[in-house]
Structure 1
Amino acid sequence: MQLTINQAVYNINIEGQGQPVWLLLHGFMGSQHDFEQIKPYLTTTVITLDLLGHGKTKAPLTPSRLTFKQQTQDLAEILNTLHFSSVNICGYSMGGRLALGLAFSFPQFCRQLFLENCTAGIINSQKRKQRQQHDQFLAQKLRQEPLSAFIHYWEQLPLFQSQKTLSPAIQQQIYQQRIQQNPQGLAASLEGMGTGVMPNYWPQLEKFFLPVTLITGNLDTKFSQITQQMHQLFPHSQRFVVDQAGHNVHLEQPQVYSQILKEQQYAN
């Protein structure tokens, strides 16, 4: 289905019925199809969508429209328009950062929070500025180079080395999803919703009293450390480290990932 929110036409899919309702948020260069392997395990209502700058969602590609704040506001308005409240919000990487922002800005929509390999922001102002500059660099690459060249660059990042062990069929599916993206949308997303410009939520974590499930892969050393730090601050959190998985746990170990979600979905 399509839903127009603040001049953006969102591509949204809703499957299943019953409680709890799941909202699954994909990562950078992903789409609602990121969770195809996960949805069959979730036997209740599942909402997936293409975020701003991604997939088939259409929006004005202006810096003021594709901001972190605008995206979280859109998500809240989507849930309100669809008459969903108190949902399990689950996000991966960029989607995890947006899930965190949605839960803090609009807690009335959050039943509990599931965060897969994401950060709560950048505390140090100098490091935040450096990350903004790096995101600008990536955005320029997207605007100036063929998308295939950027995808090749992206695939070589240490964060995604564990995905090289996936079957050729799965790797081809990932590539096809990425090559169908709009590079202008991806660039605007990096500038508006990148890690460098997201709010710093670290000081607020200890004040978040809803249940939180943190998921990381044992091969992702960077985010294993970050999720451990978040786990120590959240008052009510559980952390799962999945073996033989890197940054994208739901892709690399879908059955284990789904089992975690199923076991935790009724937590209070």
Structure 2
Amino acid sequence: MKITIRKASYAYEWLNGYEPKRPTLICLHGFMGSKETFANLAQQDQVNLLALDLLGHGQSSIYLPAYRYTMSELIKDLQLLAQQLRLTKFYLLGYSMGSRVALAWSLTYPESIAGLIMEAGTPGIIGAENRAKRRVHDKNWCQMLQECSLTQFVQSWQDQALFASQRLLPIEQQQAIFQAKSQQVSYGLAMSLQNMGTGAQMNYWSSLTTKGKFPLLYLAGQLDHKYLSLGQQVVQAWGHPQATLTIIEAAGHCTHLEQPLLFQTTVLNWLASLEK
């Protein structure tokens, strides 16, 4: 299904149908992902699962002006999307890039948020110099998207140390992941990196205590030392007493792929504890 928000088309799907009496969890994928990212959560009837393709990804609009890809513009769209679907209170789940989007969305429109689940996300980079360095880093990836084939880009992206633990997955699954990412469009990926990457993202650290007024679950893989440390800091800074860090054993950056059953159980148990 598709919905038009301010002349941009967003693809969305109710992964397990919609029941008015159930709480709703909106799921946001990471860079080069799609609304299929959290399909493994669909085999349950506790919550409605609404999955979206973010701009530049999947079946959502791609060829838009650069400013539409900025975080501030994107979350305006997403809030309007939720309103058009008549969702007044909902949970957010985001992975990596989607986790940053979910955080920005929840801190900007906290009145709509019942709770936030961040899987391996950051509130931003502290210090103008550090952010400038990251923008150069992101720009280099954008240049690769212009100069290389998409399959070459995907291979280089997956070769990063951050994703090393995914090489322990079955070969068939690794190939399926690679093929799915290779179906994206270079322009959309470049616009996302340039305008919504970590280097372009504003620093939300100072807002965690003052605006984080709803429950938080932070998920980090045991092998993902960078985001495990970030998760500890986020939970410590969070402004609501129900802030929890859960470490997913034997997993790296992408816990929902590497330990899907443990990921699902953790998410559903946390939601159930809040809906008692």
Q: What is the rounded CA distance, in whole Å, between the counterparts of 2:65 and 2:192 in structure 1?
A: 10
What's the counterpart of residue 130 of structure 2? 127
- Residue 41 of structure 1 and its aligned partner are, at CA, apart by 3.5
| Cα distance in 2 between the residues matched to 1:144 and 1:41 | 43
- How many corresponding residue pairs? 268
Q: State the shift of 1:59 in Å.
A: 3.9
Residues 144-202 of structure 1: CA deviation (Å, up to 9, x unaligned): 11001111101110000000011122112111111100011000010111011112110
2:113 matches 1:113: no
User: Residue 44 of structure 1: CA displacement?
Assistant: 2.3
SS in structure 1 opposite 2:37? helix
Distance 1:240 1:230 in 2: 12
In structure 2, how many angstroms separate the alpha carbons of the residues matched to 1:65 and 1:262? 33
Say if 1:68 and 1:42 are closer, same or farther in 2 by CA, change over 3 A: farther
Alignment equivalent of 1:210, drawn from 194, 209, 214: 214
User: RMSD across aligned C-alpha pairs, in angstroms?
Assistant: 1.2
Q: For residue 12 of structure 2, what is the aligned residue in structure 1?
A: 12
Q: TM-score, normalised by structure 2?
A: 0.94
Q: Give the whole-Å Cα distance in 2 for the aligned partners of 1:249 and 1:89.
A: 17
Task: Give the % identical residues.
Answer: 34
* Mapped partners of 1:123, 1:155: distance in 2: 26
For the residues of structure 1 that align with 2:52 and 2:121, how far apart are their CA atoms?
Answer: 19
Which of the numbers 190, 194, 198 marks the counterpart of 1:191? 194
Moved more, 241-250 or 7-16: 7-16
**How far does residue 42 in structure 1 lie from its aligned partner after superposition?**
5.3
SS in 2 for 1:209: coil
CA distance in 2: counterparts of 1:108 and 1:79, whole angstroms: 13
**Residue 93 of structure 1 pairs with residue 101 of structure 2:** no
Q: Does 1:37 align with 2:40?
A: yes
Larger RCO (CA under 8 A, 6+ residues apart): 1
Among residues 67, 71, 88, which one is paired with 1:68 in the alignment? 71
Give 1:240's aligned residue: 246
Contact preservation (8 Å) 1:113, 1:211? yes
Q: Distance in 1 between matches of 2:84 and 2:64?
A: 23
Which amino acid counterpart does residue 225 of structure 2 have in structure 1?
T
Could you tell me the TM-score, scaled by structure 1's length? 0.97
Residues 7 and 60 in structure 1, CA contact (< 8 A), matched pair in contact too: no
| Superposition deviation, residue 86 in structure 1 | 1.1
**Unpaired segments of 5 or more residues in structure 1?**
none
Instruction: Check the 8 A contact 1:20/1:45 in 2, yes or no.
Output: yes
8 Å Cα contact 1:61-1:184 kept in structure 2: no
The CA distance in 2 between the partners of 1:105 and 1:204, in whole Å, is 10
